[in-house]
Amino acid sequence: MHDPGPTFRALHVPGDPFILANAWDVGSARVLAALGARAIGTSSAAHAFTLGLPDGAHVGRDAALQHASELVAATALPVSADLENGYGNDPDSVAETVRLACEAGVAGLSIEDIALPTADAYPFEHALERVRAAVAAIRALPRDVVLLARADGVMTGAYDVDEGIRRLQAFEAAGADALYLPLPPGMDDVRRICASVSAPINALAAGHFSNVSLARFAEAGVARVSLGSALASVTQRALVDAGTAIFESGDFTALANGIPDDRIDELLARGGARPADPS
């Protein structure tokens, strides 16, 4: 079986970021692959949207891993799984989630420090123990998987950037391969975060960072830029705008902006293609 882990790990170069293209189903993964994505990510929020659930809904470990395995099978690209808080508060639950994610074929995964479904952060030592459990589980695996440890408390309002950096530094010391503090106040904070650790940093191109170019993220020292649920939200905007015009005004003109079916078919075929077996 091909191990996508080394390919995924090699993409993480501080100052030369790649884009982690967060998909929400097989079709979007294949289109993103055809358009030039180098790796695919799941998004817990975007996945929830497809199930008719709100952002922040805890869809559950089984559903998340099934979704990840479908995206692994969809393209030849490495896939990183958004595994929220590891689907359990205790370190053992996190370790079991890591093992199951490996079986699903992912090349990477992320674990956050928020006690879902609340916005509260786990206490520092407990958050660190959870990362240690994830690291130990990954090191016992038969193949390479990149662990991204997340400090989400700045985004949820649970703590400030200083505490977030303290957590990232501890997560790195515990063995996390890459680190993520989503949506700090500004680019000066992103630069400070990158300078505070040696491990590759993920940044989120969403919210007030939507206007930041890949070149500016590179200048700050970022190694990876993810899209989160932002691209899925763009598709929801197209649906809402067209649907509103149709059902409120009987106006179908937005439907003329659709991509031709044969173009979609071509992208799906190209994005789902796999290299020929050298044997």
Helix axes 187-196, 161-173, angle to 10 degrees: 30
DSSP 8-class letter at 259:
P
All structural domains of the chain: 5-232 (3.20.20.60)
pLDDT at 278: 45
- Please give the angle made by the CA atoms of 176, 180 and 184, to the nearest 5 degrees: 150
- List the pLDDT tens digit at each of the 279 positions of the chain: 578 999 999 999 999 999 999 999 999 999 999 999 999 999 999 999 999 988 766 689 999 999 999 999 999 999 999 999 999 999 999 999 999 999 999 999 999 999 999 999 999 999 999 999 999 999 999 999 999 999 999 999 999 999 999 999 999 999 999 999 999 999 999 999 999 999 999 999 999 999 999 999 999 999 999 999 999 999 999 999 999 999 999 999 999 999 999 999 999 999 998 775 444
Pull the structure tokens for residue 107: 């090349």
- pLDDT of res. 208: 93
Contact 26, 75 (CB under 8 A): no
Residue type, 182: P
Q: Which two tokens stand for residue 243?
A: 């649907």
| Distance, CA of 224 to CA of 78 (rounded, Å) | 14
Tell me what pLDDT residue 59 has. Answer: 86
> Under a CB-based contact definition with an 8 Å cutoff, are residues 141 and 169 in contact?
no
> Which pLDDT does position 54 carry in this prediction?
84
Any idea how long the chain is? 279
At 12 the pLDDT is: 98
> What are the backbone dihedrals phi and psi of residue 180, each rounded to the nearest 5 degrees, phi first?
-155, 125
pLDDT for res 279: 43
